[in-house]
Structure 1
Amino acid sequence: MSRIFRTLDGWVFRWVQPVGTSLTAFFSIFLSFNLEKVASKHPEWSGAFALLQGFNLYSIIVVCALAALVGTAYNFVRQRSVKRLHKEVRDLRDQLGAVVQNIPETLGVVLRGVGDQLPLNQTGGQRISLYVHKPSQNVFIPCGRFSYSPNLKRKGRTSFSDSKGCIGRAWEEDWHFMDNMPDPTSLSGYTDYMAKNYQMSREATRRLNMKPRMFAAKRIMIDADAIGVLVVESLYCEQFVEEELRQILEETTQPLARLLHGFLPHIADPNDPRRVGL
């Protein structure tokens, strides 16, 4: 039924007004003629004039005028409806844009709830982060973060390789935990350790906003698909027991996976200018 209406709307309804107006004007011309007199002067057109005389021109003109009026009214209502729909689409697009811009803040609130379960130390030195995987680029994009420390909470790099670093290890192995990493105050020792164990370049390690001594990460799955990684870091060693931390993160990633999967199409990729600022 809707297909029939779309066909009528696309062809019939749109032509009613111009055709009705044209026919009204056309037949109105003949009202000023004495068709019998004209027919006697032009016997070669007698058939055409006989046909016109057989019609009730007034009735035809009234019908055509009514059709033109109906078509005009329909097109007027339709144009208003289209304008209203365009406005509603713009409003929805603006609302979606606001939602998209608030995704990191929303996920940050969720991660704070996760941090309360750990619990994170309110004096700072720890943080929890969420990374979504971009398979087309083989990278992770940070999409949520929480820490009681403003410095650790602020944004750092916009992407991370999925084959290097602690995140890459967790992505490959499902779970990764490392405690008692070298003291980063000895930068050369720390960069050497990361290069040897996690294939990170020394320059990339030096640029890290946080150089943790404890790292734990759990891969996030939705059904059989891996979509991201949940990461807990600390500037201090022996802050968590691995078995307890793993249990909390495994329980957390199940509902978090559904939430992240819903946000996935709308998470802006900072490396793709078409997707920034949706």
Structure 2
Amino acid sequence: MAVAAFFPTSSLLLWLFLGGGASLTIIGQIQSEKKGKSLRQVLIDLDKAREQKSTAQEALSEAIEVIGTNLSEELGLWSPEVRFTIYAHDDDKREFIPIVRGSDNPKLAKKNRTSYPDSQGYLGKVWEQGECSHMRKHERSVRAESLELGFTEEEYGNLTLKPRSLKGVRLSKGKQHIGAILWESENPKRIDTSNSLLDNIKDNATLLDLQAVFAASTLLFSDLSEHFFEKSS
């Protein structure tokens, strides 16, 4: 997390754009000059381009994780009883890709699936409505609602966390919806939906920072997902 921890969001975004620009420059040079280069030199240039892209991906992933953790702390949701997951949305496949998952409890922060349908469960409800929240739910109510929201009995049974309290917010780039963040807890009182900080979450400056970084990294989401699962395994 070194990059994200020491750079404010504005500096980080500038660094990322410069890094991305450098990658594109190298790729452009390869395309325009490859006829006059040896195969060895072309391969060297390709390796440089990949290295630039990999560095940008890692910085983005770390920035998103740090911002998500900071936001959770601000909202009082950084806890061994709560996990947050930040998802990118794939419009073509109509699914969510988990980019970052965090919790003060390492067991809750573990990876599970590589993608989630955008029409299923509470995450699908967040995508459709913009926000979703509940607390003090009995597990039987969570089960019934999950089945109504598209889960099969088997899929529900395989969930590693059945959220009896929850808060989710859709992430946007202007009018374009690009992802979501979801906090979940099996403690029915842990995510207090009457908390004014959660009521006004869309005006939260850290959430706006998260959306800004997300908007800057939409072209790299599939690779970020790979990085996330490699790092979590």
**Greater Rg by CA:** 1
Task: Pick from 176, 189, 198 the counterpart of residue 225 of structure 1.
Answer: 176
Q: Does 1:214 align with 2:171?
A: no
* In 2: Cα distance, 1:144 partner to 1:105 partner: 9
8 A Cα contact 1:141 1:269, kept in partner:
no
2:143 match: 191
* SS of the residue 2:92 aligns to: coil
- Name the one with the larger helix percent: 1
Post-superposition offset of 1:170 = 1.1
* SS of the residue 2:189 aligns to: coil
Task: Pick from 71, 76, 93 the counterpart of residue 114 of structure 1.
Answer: 71
Q: Which runs of 5+ in 2 are unaligned?
A: 1-31
Q: Summarize the Cα distance change of 1:167–1:269 in structure 2 as closer, same or farther, 3 Å threshold.
A: farther
* In 1: Cα distance, 2:100 partner to 2:224 partner: 14
Aligned-partner residue type, residue 261 of structure 1: A
8 A Cα contact 2:131 2:170, kept in partner:
yes
- TM-score norm. by structure 1 comes to 0.60
* In 1: Cα distance, 2:141 partner to 2:132 partner: 21
Aligned pair count reads 193
* Bigger RCO of structures 1 and 2 (CA < 8 A, at least 6 apart): 2
* SS of the residue 1:267 aligns to: helix
- TM-score norm. by structure 2 comes to 0.71
* In 2: Cα distance, 1:269 partner to 1:202 partner: 31
Q: % of aligned pairs identical? A: 21
Aligned-partner residue type, residue 192 of structure 1: A
Q: Superposition RMSD on alpha carbons, in Å?
A: 3.1
8 A Cα contact 1:220 1:226, kept in partner:
yes
8 A Cα contact 2:126 2:168, kept in partner:
yes
Deviations 1:47-76 (A, max 9, x none): xxxxxxxxxxxxxxxxxxxxxxxxxxxxxx
| Superposition misfits of 4+ residues, deviation over 4 angstroms | 82-86
Q: Does 1:247 align with 2:204?
A: no
* In 2: Cα distance, 1:98 partner to 1:254 partner: 24
Deviations 1:121-163 (A, max 9, x none): 54x1101111111011111110012100111101011111111
8 A Cα contact 1:117 1:248, kept in partner:
no
* SS of the residue 1:153 aligns to: coil
